[in-house]
């Protein structure tokens, strides 16, 4: 993290870097009197929502099982001088690796002081087995697994 009085700089690095221990593709937004972070991928604190009253000293507030990838939250009060950030209820994210394309998608959530959607705060999600196996192994991996199985059969 680096701070400046002007968007063009000069910037001064925060002596507490890194301020988050995880979160490639992190989304930040003002919440209550501080800053909330969606720490999405990579690191030992991935898939967490974190909060820092001072905007620097983040602590885990919640773990989450389905996070938006590369979130761009819609933050109505992002550029107001609010001392009480209202939070977010939706935003945009993206999916890559869909053939040769990326997909821009909307995500919905209940991370707002103004809404209460208990169904969006469930901590457990059950997915049917076909969800986990819908992609299957690629052709190269199937061939590799078949070769390993043949070698194992020869050993017995």
128-151 per-position pLDDT tens digit: 777 777 767 777 888 888 888 888
Residue 148 placed within a domain: no
Residue 86 placed within a domain: yes
Q: Nearest to residue 75, comparing CAs of 56, 89, 64, 62?
A: 89
Structural domains counted in the chain? 1
Residue 135 placed within a domain: no
Residue 47 placed within a domain: yes
Range of the domain at 22: 2-123
Average pLDDT over residues 64-68: 83
| pLDDT level of residue 123 (50, 70, 90 thresholds) | low
Q: Give this prediction's pTM.
A: 0.71
Q: pLDDT tens across 91-113, in order?
A: 999 888 777 788 899 998 888 99
Residue 21 placed within a domain: yes
CA distance 152 to 26: 44
3-state per-residue secondary structure call for 2-55? EECCCCCCCCEECCCCCCCCEEECCEEEEEECEEEEEECEEECCCCEEEEECCC
């Amino acid at each position: 993290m680096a701070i400046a009085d002007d968007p063009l700089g000069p910037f001064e690095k925060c002596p507490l870097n890194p301020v988050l221990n995880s979160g490639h593709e992190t989304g930040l937004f003002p919440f209550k009197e501080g800053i909330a972070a969606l720490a999405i991928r990579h690191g030992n604190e991935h898939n967490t929502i974190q909060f820092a009253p001072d905007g620097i000293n983040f602590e885990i507030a919640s773990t989450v099982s389905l996070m938006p990838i590369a979130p761009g939250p819609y933050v109505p009060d992002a550029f107001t001088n609010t001392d009480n950030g209202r939070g977010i209820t939706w935003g945009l994210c993206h999916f890559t690796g869909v053939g040769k394309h990326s997909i821009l998608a909307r995500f919905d959530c209940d991370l707002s002081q103004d809404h209460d959607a208990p169904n969006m705060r469930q901590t457990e999600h059950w997915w049917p087995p076909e969800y986990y196996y819908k992609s299957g192994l690629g052709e190269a991996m199937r061939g590799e697994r078949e070769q390993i199985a043949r070698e194992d059969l020869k050993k017995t």
